[in-house]
Amino acid sequence: MAISYYKGPDTYIIYGAETIYGDGGTPTGTNRIGKVQSVNVSMTNNNQRYQGMGNGRNANGAVLGIFDITATADIQVDEDALKFMQYFVGEVQGAGTVASPYELVELDNYGQTAATHIQSLGMQIGSEGDANDNTWDLKGVQGNTLTLNMNQGEIMTATYDFIVQTMESGTTLTAYTPDITKPFTFQSGAVTINSEAFDCMSFSMTLTNTAQTHRNLGSRLIVQPVTGVRRYDFTLTFKFKFDSTAATLSGTELLAYFFGAATAPLDGAAATAYDMNVSVNEGAVADDRVIDIDLNNCYFESWSQPMPLEGGVFEVTVNGFGLNGEADGADLVPIRWYTIV
């Protein structure tokens, strides 16, 4: 008798772009999605019980319903993760240098053609189990929601949320090349709002494609999803203070941005938009890496400021949204990164 248990340290996740939706692509051992901390695949048969009056209290049987698959992954962000984020945003362009940084460029529709579509993927989750290995091959994978999380002094993390058409299980692993590069940390860099430095403790941003799914009659599986509206939402936390330093935005000044006026909510006028940049860097010498997150036309939606007797300086949480990434010629770019040489 042989028994094999499957566990995280012996599991990899790889991907390959599809040429036809649902064909599974060709996942390769060097196509990594980041430093994976956890992954979850949820499948539902949506079986339909049937029963009629006079047939007793118990259901008489069941028939198959539509087949649903979703998947999520939590990762630590490194270069592999940044490149993978194109499957939520659009495409990657650039050379990764100061003069020509890698840029994630917004594209509008799902599809299989690079540079014009947010491509669909095949993904393989492979687990080594002594002589009895296990693979899950996910097909028709489409990136729906991406969340970036940064807390001061901690490793940058991200959560991926996918829509999946179907999957197959197997036993043959793909040769995997582990990644040993270090992830990014939120300890050196700057946050600017309207070109003024802002002292921020944590920042998170969620991009959602608001994907719409449907099925053709005759199949339990979805067809190619369709993009809905694109939304960027963010959350900032910071210590509330007054600061009159030039070119610095303090909490009291941000409150005026939130109000739309100096000391009280503005009445009867359009909201004012602001530009925001979050820069994470390792330094300013050769081989140091830099990430810039740029949201244009940002609005502040909610302000939460607990004021306890104990606990030190007041900590504020502000939620808001941006309309788009930063304009670069005809492109809109929410994320760019490069290595200093």
CA–CA separation, 269 vs 77, rounded Å? 40
CA–CA separation, 1 vs 101, rounded Å? 55
For residue range 171-195, list pLDDT tens digits in order: 999 999 998 899 999 988 899 999 9
Give the range among 126-140, 230-244, 263-277 with minimum mean pLDDT: 263-277
According to DSSP, residue 216 is labeled: -
Q: Tell me what pLDDT residue 269 has.
A: 75
List alpha helices for 70-130, DSSP H: 79-84, 86-89
Q: What angle do CA 195, 200, 203 make, to 5 degrees?
A: 100
CA–CA separation, 257 vs 265, rounded Å? 10
Q: Tell me what pLDDT residue 226 has.
A: 98
Region 118-137 average pLDDT: 96
pLDDT band per the 50, 70, 90 thresholds, residue 271: confident
Region 227-232 average pLDDT: 98
CA 21 to chain centre: 21
CA–CA separation, 238 vs 53, rounded Å? 62
CA–CA separation, 22 vs 219, rounded Å? 13
Instruction: State what percent of residues in the chain have pLDDT above 90.
Output: 90
Place of tokens 């060709």: 26
pTM of the model: 0.94
For residue range 316-328, list pLDDT tens digits in order: 999 999 999 999 9
pLDDT band per the 50, 70, 90 thresholds, residue 303: very high
1, pLDDT greater than 80: no
pLDDT band per the 50, 70, 90 thresholds, residue 283: confident
Q: Which two tokens stand for residue 116?
A: 């014009």
Region 254-262 average pLDDT: 92
Q: Tell me what pLDDT residue 2 has.
A: 84
CA–CA separation, 325 vs 341, rounded Å? 26
Region 67-88 average pLDDT: 97
CA–CA separation, 105 vs 308, rounded Å? 43
CA–CA separation, 241 vs 9, rounded Å? 45
Mean per-residue pLDDT over the chain, rounded: 95
Per DSSP, the residues of 259-311 read HTSSSS---SSPPPPEEEEEEEES-SSTT-EEEEEEEEEEEEEEEE----SSS
CB-based contacts of 24: which residues, under 8 Å, 6+ apart?
A: 16, 18, 122, 137, 138, 139
Helix, strand, coil shares, percent, the chain, to 5: 5, 45, 45
Region 131-150 average pLDDT: 97
Q: Tell me what pLDDT residue 58 has.
A: 96
Pair type for strands 118-119 and 110-111: parallel
Q: Tell me what pLDDT residue 263 has.
A: 87
